[in-house]
Structure 1
Amino acid sequence: MTAVNPGALDGMRVIDLTQVMAGPFSTMLLADLGAEVIKVEPPGGGDQTRHSWGRSGKGDDGPAFFALNRNKKSVVIDLREPDGLAELHSLVRGADVVIENYRPGVTKRLGIDYESLRAIEPSIIFASITGFGHYGPYATRPGYDLIAQGMAGIMGITGNPGGEPVKAGVPVADIGAGLFCTYGILAAYAHKLRTGEGQYLETSLYDSAIAFSVWEATEYWASGNVPVATGSAHRMSAPYQAFPTSDGWITVGANNQRLWGYLCTALGREDLRDDARFATNPDRMANRAELAEIIGSALSTDTSEVWVEKLLAAGVPAGLVQTYDRVLDDPHTLAREMVQTIPHPVEGEVSTLGFPVKFSGTPAAARRHPPLLDEHRAELLGEQAAGDPA
């Protein structure tokens, strides 16, 4: 790996006891910013995602693992054994953060809960991600993104009006929990640097999914109406949604009076400005279905590419609705360095998404390949990895 400047979190040590998505996503964000993240994996194959989706290529690890574990170190520890617990304690001493995503009660049973590890490292920050949190009526329920999206209301407002419940296309509860956990860890770390004090923090897939519902909660509190699915349409403005063209779909965001006028001009429908059905935003919201049909009819006369260029030239926000093959090859995606590759000792090159936050002085960087299972045992514990030649 090419040498890079230290990241913003250089000097932070994180003990990562998480698997699958929410926790590994959180710790990858920290690792991208320069933290030393030590991924503690269970015996018998390590993180479950090492074997999800099959093998990636030449080695045993799968692409799901590569997606969430760059820039980390790996060590296998059996936390059910006294020797394993001693190994974990040796890693926790001098560490800044421990993060885990076990079901409530498991860390206490294993002796790796906050109180136990704080006795080893008094200033430790202990972060926990669960499905529903550590208290409340649902605390003991298993946590999955799908379940959280359904129970937190997201599936009830996703999809077309009157249609069956649909989950968001990306795992918003998992990714959201990872993001909120990272946000919490950074706040706790700032406090620790200022005071020397660690603390316990927790978030959940359920809490995170609800936290994204800022418009929907506001709509309910303000009107008393239960939010429902609106397709791609906005809850408070129109026209602001996806529309069909002659060869696909585009999004149009004419969500104020000025942009509405620009859109009428671009569509060649100046008459719509004076149409009482669409005179103001409340009028357009009340007649949204009719408006969508009129706009869709106008857009059906040409291709998506032509209409996006025409609308942008007229000052109307617009964009293509793209599939991921186009997104990942889009010149803007590439210019923003949102697609990168990491050299890997087995696979050769592994594709990875880039870094959504750009820093002028301490940029995020791909410093390490996704680790091989137990790759860093000798470095971290002074022992050979299982299976290594003597």
Structure 2
Amino acid sequence: MTREPGIAAGIRVVEIGSSASVAVAGMVLADADAEVVQIEPPGGSPLREEPAFGMWARGKSSVVADLASAEGLARARALICDADVLLIGLKPASVDRFGLGHASLEAEAPRLVYAALTGFGSQGPWRDIPVYDAVMQARGGRMYELSILFGAKRPAFAAAPVAAHGAAMALLEGVFGALRERERNGGRGQRIETSLAQSLMSYDLYHWAPGEPAPLRTEDTPFLPYSVARTSDGVWVQFAQNGPVLFGDFLRVLALDDEVNYVDAMMPGDPADKRALRDRIQEKVAEASWAVWQERLADERNLSVERFHAPGEALSHPQFEAIGDVVEVPGPAGGTTRQLGPLFDVPAWPLQPRGVAPALDSRGHAGFGPRGGKGESAVSPVTAGDPPGPGLLAGVTVLELGMWIALPFAATQLAELGARVIKLEPLEGDPMRAIGPVSFKIVQGKESIALDLKRPEATEIVHRLVARADAVLHSYRPGVPERLGIDFETLRKINPGLVYLYNGSYGSRGPKSYAPAFHVTGGAIAGGAYAQAGAGCPPPPEVVLSHDEMARVSQRLELSNEANPDFNSAVTAAAAVTMGLYARQKTGRGLALETRMMLSNAMMMGADFIEYEGRPERRELDSELTGFGPLYRLYPAAEGWVFVAAPRQRDFERLCVALDLGSLTSDERFTTAEARESNVQALVAALGDAFAKRSADALESELTAQGVACVRADQGPYPRWLFEQDWAREQGLVVDAPDSLVGPYPRFGAPLSSERPASLRGAFASGTDTRALLAEVGYGAREIEGLLERGVVAEAAADSND
């Protein structure tokens, strides 16, 4: 492995805690050439038991320090105070007990960027509940939302660890944002914080919007543009044809273009009619094998189809291999691993794995070396000055060229950190706006100009805006930016300091770079849908299915392939942009970056995206979608349902005491993890009987008070609970947009908190700022009228924002 300096060269990072979110954030920093030291307890981090440890810990070193001892704590503090960044994922009570809060470190380490991850925030009644992804997804309503897999009769375990992924990306946004600000303020660090509760806010598309929450989808009403089908050799495939041209080509290939059109497919309609059309599509797909379909579709540029992959299988996907998203890294125990490559593609400063995951205490008592050399100097050369405004990204101007969800929501997150975001929309507006207030999630907090990018006069407008911008984000397929005059090489001549992000589906190169994709594509490739469907779904290829069985499997796969891939892509793109802005601030040079929906979603499922000889089998969600074993699963209570997370020995013992089942801790069937694994059903029965004696509310109240992660899991959606929590408002998770298309409304806050939070705005109509922006870049009043009359640009109707 080469050692060319990377974007984070010279940055020293200390990592504390056993959170996968902290580990992934540290991995990205290590890939970017930061020097990352993970502080582990005696015996090592619990993450060492995970197969993905060889990926999450690559390029890091290890220091063992018992934080409960004076010697261990002193050792940890010495490293922290010599570091640039602390990633800390401990419960707030533990942070207080060890004296590792930001206030206790600030005097000794004024340059330190202190990045904290909690479960429900650092204050309030929920702050010390153990930080597990599924606990947050249970209390946050995701398991309630997935009750559609059971006709809304009971919750379903959420298999995709989206809260953990979102939190990792928020940590990176905060770290790079704070490092950028440190370059500007004379070298002063600050505290930033995110939580799984903040992360989960990103993943609620429908229920938060002004008005009544959307009803759960309980009837089998297939969405035909996202058709699920089975080939003649039993391979289940996912189509993604959401658009009139894409859907038209799909029907043409299936010879069904005289039976249905895109408008009918999109309209609600009679569920029975939708199911009949699904039958026709499935009949056509079942006429040929998967290999034959791949050959037939090879030259179709508007067809998006992928088979459903189990988590980790995409390591052998031709696109992943061709584009470099699979790398070989030595394994911690020897041999070679195949694992995911760097999350961000940065040609000017390539991220790359910098070494093997460390042996325990590999660093010993060695501290960081002397400052200087490659990267950061001890004293910033930047003169201290007043901050440009509230928010980590205050003073940054971002141009957004994208539609629907993934790219626009990435820009939304940047706006929530204080950036000025200008949304460039088609004349008729982003098609997402047709959904009504739901679209507010991807337009709020932005200025909007509507223009026809195919017109040369519009290209000139874009170029004038680019000259004043700091970053450009787009999601067009390869070749389109060049035709529109918005490719990196063109724009960097206008603005050499430009940070330019392509947030693609498959990426800018490789055999699938041309292909369209939507969230269901990411879910099918990365394995999120497969994992959510549970054991036995889809059934093996050799199993013959009746018509009714085909319908049930189709519906289960369709409902399992929900919207989280768009948001996984969005939060990854936002983190990449903040890294790019840090690099530009440090060097004065612009750069191009690329993120890919498929890779972002694979990283979200990263626990399974590593291969090596002797790797344990993948953990599989049970067919009833309750969870992963007796101590990480859903249980019915006397009234309602709860989710309990007690995977470690001390958690198990604490749970047994809280349930008045102390005798189980000495029962030889359950005394060790190995024994419990051999007696799963007996343990489920014993715990189930205890849970069934109390209500879900009582269990949540009584067990969390005793330090057990047990929360109610059958309530939702998320805003219905979060918007009523005083602690959520006090910590900025819920704020009020003072004005918008529909007047004031409550909304989710920013993905992280910092010293100077930005004020968050509401959503306004497409083209609201067309005139003002044109004037800002030098167009006179008569020129603006001419552009409007010729249909080059459009503006919001006079009463659209009333």
TM-score normalised by length of structure 2 = 0.42
Match of 2:287 in 1: 301
Q: Which amino acid aligns with 1:302?
A: A
Aligned residue runs from structure 1 range 322-337, under 5 A:
322-324=309-311, 326-337=313-324
- The aligned amino acid for 1:7 is G
CA distance in structure 2 between the partners assigned to 1:20 and 1:95 by the alignment: 20
Whole-angstrom distance in 1 between the partners of 2:142 and 2:203: 9
Alignment of 1:268-283 (within 5 A): 268-273=255-260, 279=264, 281-283=266-268
SS at match of 1:14: strand
1:40, CA displacement in angstroms? Answer: 0.9
How far apart are residue 358 of structure 1 and its match? 1.4
Residues 113 and 231 of structure 1, relative CA distance in 2, 3 Å threshold: farther
Q: Which amino acid aligns with 1:362?
A: W
Change in 2 beyond 3 A, CA 1:141/1:90? closer
Match of 1:69 among 57, 60, 72: 57
Q: Does the Cα contact within 8 Å between 2:30 and 2:59 map onto a contact in 1?
A: yes
Q: Which residue of 2 aligns with 1:17?
A: 16
Task: Return the offset for 1:226.
Answer: 3.0
In the alignment, structure 1 residue 157 sits paired with structure 2 residue 145? yes
Amino acid at match of 1:36: E
5 Å matches for 1:101-116?
101-116=89-104
Corresponding position: 1:99 with 2:98? no
Secondary structure of the equivalent of 1:89? Answer: helix
Deviations 1:66-123 (A, max 9, x none): 2311111111112222222322232123311111111122111111111111121012
Report if the CA contact (8 A) 1:232-1:241 is conserved.
no
The amino acid across from 2:278 in the alignment is: A
Return the alpha-carbon distance in structure 1 between the equivalents of residues 250 and 268 of structure 2: 16
Q: Which moved more, 1:304-313 or 1:356-365?
A: 304-313
Distance 1:230 1:10 in 2: 54
Partner residue, 1:179 = 169
Contact 1:127 / 1:202 at 8 angstroms: preserved in 2? yes
RMSD: 2.8
| 351 and 253 in structure 1: CA distance in 2 versus 1, 3 angstrom threshold | closer
Find 1:88's aligned residue among 47, 66, 76: 76
Distance 1:231 1:154 in 2: 20
Deviation at 1:217, TM superposition (A): 3.3
Aligned position for 1:244:
230
Instruction: Judge which range, 306-315 or 360-369, deviates more.
Output: 306-315
- Aligned partners of 2:151, 2:258: CA distance in 1, in Å? 32
351, 356, 359: which one aligns with 2:346: 359
Comparing 302-311 and 358-367, the one that deviates more: 302-311
Q: Flag the 1:79–1:323 CA change in 2: closer, same or farther, 3 A.
A: closer
Asked if the contact 2:54/2:331 (under 8 Å) is kept, the reply is no
The residue that corresponds to 1:188 in the other structure is 178
Of 34, 43, 46, the residue aligned with 2:44 is 46
Q: Distance in 1 between matches of 2:221 and 2:63?
A: 45
Kindly provide the amino acid, as one letter, of the partner of residue 165 in structure 2.
I
Distance 1:260 1:346, change over 3 A: closer
Indicate the residue corresponding to 1:370 in structure 2: 357
The answer to whether the 8 A contact 2:68-2:98 is kept is yes
Deviates further, 344-353 or 294-303: 344-353
Q: Counterparts of 2:235 and 2:97 in 1: how far apart (Å)?
A: 55
* Correspondence for 1:141: 129
Secondary structure of the structure 2 residue equivalent to 1:127: strand
* Of 272, 275, 280, the match for 1:289: 275
Alignment check: 8 A CA contact 1:16 1:39 kept: yes
Which amino acid is the alignment partner of residue 307 of structure 2?
A: L
2:116 counterpart (128, 146, 159): 128
Number of residue-to-residue matches in the alignment: 363
> Is the 8 Å Cα contact of residues 206 and 213 (structure 2) preserved in structure 1?
no
Counterpart check, 1:318 vs 2:308: no
Of 175, 183, 190, the match for 1:199: 190
Q: Distance in 1 between matches of 2:139 and 2:217?
A: 14
Measure the CA separation in 1 of the matches of 2:287 and 2:80.
64
Report Cα offsets for 1:176-204 as digits up to 9, x if no partner.
21121111111111111111221111111
Q: Pick one of 319, 333, 341 that aligns with 2:328.
A: 341
> How has the CA–CA distance of structure 1 residues 230 and 178 changed in structure 2, closer, same or farther, with 3 Å as cutoff?
farther
Instruction: State the alpha-carbon separation in 2 of the partners of residues 232 and 30 from structure 1.
Output: 44
> In the alignment, does 2:378 pair up with 1:379?
no
Q: What is residue 211 of structure 1 aligned with on the other side?
A: 202
Tell me how far apart the structure 1 counterparts of residues 220 and 96 of structure 2 sit (CA, whole Å).
Answer: 44
What TM-score does the superposition give when structure 1 sets the normalisation length?
0.83
Instruction: Note the C-alpha offset of 1:34.
Output: 0.8
* Structure 2: 5+ residue stretches without partners: 370-802
Letter in 2 for 1:281: M
- C-alpha distance 111-224 of structure 1, shift in aligned 2 (>3 A): closer
Greater Cα radius of gyration, structure 1 or 2: 2
Structure 1 residue aligned with 2:477:
none
Cα–Cα, structure 1 residues 151 and 311, in superposed 2: closer, same or farther, change >3 Å? farther
TM-superposed deviation, 1:19: 1.3
The aligned amino acid for 1:169 is A
SS in 2 for 1:328: helix
Cα gap change, 1:118 to 1:64, in 2 (>3 Å): same
Kindly tell me: are residues 90 and 324 of structure 1, through their superposed partners in 2, closer, same or farther at Cα, counting changes over 3 Å?
A: closer
Change (3 A) 1:99 1:343: same
- Going from structure 1 to structure 2, the CA distance change for 1:19 and 1:249 (only over 3 Å counts) comes to same
Q: CA deviation at 1:311?
A: 4.5
Native 8 Å contact 2:39 2:64 kept in 1: yes
C-alpha displacement at 1:222, in angstroms?
5.9
Q: Is the 8 A contact 1:39 1:73 kept in 2?
A: yes
Give distance in 2, aligned partners of 1:290 and 1:93: 66
Distance in 2, matches of 1:80 and 1:285, equals: 64
SS of residue paired to 1:31: helix
Distance 2:253 2:101 in 1: 61
Give the drift of 1:156: 3.1
CA contact 2:33–2:351 (8 Å) conserved in 1 = yes
- Mapped to 1, the partners of 2:3 and 2:345 lie a distance apart of 15
Counterpart position of 1:60: none
SS of equivalent to 1:216: coil
Q: Which residue of 2 aligns with 1:26?
A: 25
- Per-residue deviation at 1:149? 1.6
For 2:202 and 2:305, locate their aligned partners in 1 and report how far apart those are by CA, in whole Å: 28
After superposition, what is the alpha-carbon deviation per residue over 1:202-257, rounded to whole angstroms, capped at 9, x for unaligned?
Answer: 111222122122x2336x546642344799966xxx42143222221111112122
Question: Unaligned stretches of 5+ in structure 1?
Answer: 54-62, 383-390
Change (3 A) 1:71 1:253: same
* Letter paired with 2:290: S
Change (3 A) 1:346 1:325: closer
**SS of corresponding position for 1:40:** strand
CA 37–229 in structure 1, closer or farther in 2 if over 3 Å, else same: farther
**What is the deviation of 1:169?**
3.5
Task: Report the counterpart of residue 7 of structure 2 in structure 1.
Answer: 8
d(CA) in 2 for partners of 1:358 and 1:9? Answer: 14
Aligned residue number for residue 35 of structure 1: 34
Verify the 8 A CA contact 2:207 2:213 in the aligned structure 1. Answer: no
Give the 3-state SS of the residue equivalent to 2:170 in structure 1: helix
CA contact (8 A) 1:308 1:320 kept: no
User: Residues 113 and 189 of structure 2 are in contact (CA less than 8 Å); yes or no, is this contact kept in structure 1?
Assistant: yes
- Counterpart CA distance in 1 for 2:179 and 2:76 is 21
SS in 1 for 2:107: helix
